[in-house]
Structure 1
Amino acid sequence: MKIALLGYGKMGQAIERIALGRGHEIVLKKTSNASFDGLEMADVAIDFSVPTAAVTNITTALNNGIPIVSGTTGWLADYHLMTALCEQKNGAFIYGSNFSLGVNLFFQLNEYLAKMMAKFPEYKVAMQEIHHKQKLDAPSGTAISLAHDIIANSDYSSWALENAKADEIWIDAQRIEHVPGTHSVFYNSPIDTIQIKHIAHSREGFALGAVMAAEWIVGKTGVFSMKDVLGLIDN
């Protein structure tokens, strides 16, 4: 399989190592100053860039008939435009706030727990996410996904980074050097706390999941998620 890497930072390089190890070929390694030359040779594109470049990368791939997998976060105000373009072009698109197998299992656990805890209003939800200092967005896309799944299954209406109201989930976003990603969800009551937590030990899990998604999407049309890739079903 021929892969175009749209973004060649630390994640792009980790994806390259995984892809080459699985027998794939990299035909484009696009940095901020590089062109899209070589994209036309790709079977699939993987976007791990920056929020300001993601929409251009996804648009260019879809306009050229290239299936695209995007793990860039911080641009989701335009997500509906990208899904509409994908449908218009009869293309293939996967966005994931996190491609790690463990995190996607964690998403399922979080959703299940939220449905269970909705019956017990004495427990108040709070979240914490910790990432390396180079991460540009806060809270993380993964934290936002976790919060949205709780909101969809509870009386909470939104999330906030500070001064959270009674119907908002407080997300404590911390940036600490050399932390790939840690996410915690707390249900606090006056007498106890229930906590679920995911700790990433390296970028390799994210990279492997992105390559698996790229392998899966080739030959398909539509807008998908990692639930489709991993065969996970809604609770």
Structure 2
Amino acid sequence: MKIALLGYGKMGKTIERIAIDRGHEIVLKISDNIAAYDLSLADVAIDFSIPTAALNNIITCCKNGLPVISGTTGWLKDYEKAVKVCEQEDSALLYASNFSIGVNLFFDLNQKLAKLMQPFKEYAVAIEEIHHTQKLDAPSGTAISLADQIVANSSLTGWKAEQAEKNEIPVYSKRIDEVPGTHTVSYASRVDTIEIKHTAHSREGFALGAVIAAEWIKDKKGVFTMKDVLSGLK
């Protein structure tokens, strides 16, 4: 499979190494104006760029009939625009806030725990995420996904960074050098605390999941999530 990398920072370089190890070829490394490159050289694009470039990268890929995997966070206010273009162009798009297989299992656990905790109003839920200091957005896309899942499976009305209202989930963000990503969901009462936690030890889990998603989406049409990928792997 021939891959175009959109964004060639630390994640892009890790994806490159893993993709080559799995027998794929990196044909484009794009960190500037995507319009200056011949996207027909690639079978699929993997986007780990920056929030301000993500939407244009995705739309350009869709208009060129190139399936695109997006792991860039911080641009989701424009997600529906990307979906609309993808559908209009009969192309393929898969966005995930986190491509790690472990994190996606963690998402399933988070949903199940939220349903279990829903009747027990004495427990206050909170989310903490810790990432490296180069991460541009806060809260992380993964933390937002966790919060949205809890809201969907509880009587809570939303989430807010740091200072939340009574019926909202507080999401706390920390930035510490060389931390790939740690997410903790806690339910605290006066007598005890229940926690679930995912700790990434390197970027390799994210990169491997993105490459697996790219392998899966090649030659497909439509808008997908990592649930579709994981269902296909079972």
TM over 0.5: yes
Q: Please report how far the alpha carbon of residue 44 of structure 1 lies from its aligned counterpart in structure 2 after TM superposition.
A: 0.3
Q: Is the 8 A contact 1:27 1:39 kept in 2?
A: no
1:46 alignment partner AA = I
1:187 alignment partner AA = Y
C-alpha distance in 2 between matches for 1:215 and 1:77: 27
Q: Identical aligned pairs, as a percentage? A: 64
SS of the counterpart of 1:202? coil
C-alpha distance in 2 between matches for 1:163 and 1:34: 39
C-alpha distance in 1 between matches for 2:151 and 2:181: 22
**Residue 221 of structure 1: aligned partner:** 221
C-alpha distance in 1 between matches for 2:163 and 2:54: 30
CA deviation string 1:199-223 (max 9, x = no partner): 0000000000000000000111111
CA deviation string 1:71-118 (max 9, x = no partner): 000000000011111111111100000000000000000001001100
Q: TM-score, normalised by structure 2?
A: 0.97
**Residue 123 of structure 2: aligned partner:** 123
**Residue 180 of structure 1: aligned partner:** 180
Q: CA RMSD in A?
A: 1.1
- Stretches of structure 2 that go unaligned for 5 or more consecutive residues are none
More displaced stretch, 123-132 vs 152-161: 152-161
C-alpha distance in 2 between matches for 1:150 and 1:36: 42
**Residue 20 of structure 2: aligned partner:** 20
C-alpha distance in 2 between matches for 1:13 and 1:34: 18
**Residue 166 of structure 1: aligned partner:** 166
SS of the counterpart of 1:231? helix
Q: Are residue 55 (structure 1) and residue 71 (structure 2) matched?
A: no
Q: Is the 8 A contact 1:55 1:82 kept in 2?
A: yes
Moved over 2 A (4+): 32-36
**Residue 32 of structure 2: aligned partner:** 32
SS of the counterpart of 1:122? coil
Q: Is the 8 A contact 1:30 1:36 kept in 2?
A: no
CA deviation string 1:168-194 (max 9, x = no partner): 100110000010000000000010000
Q: Are residue 231 (structure 1) and residue 231 (structure 2) matched?
A: yes
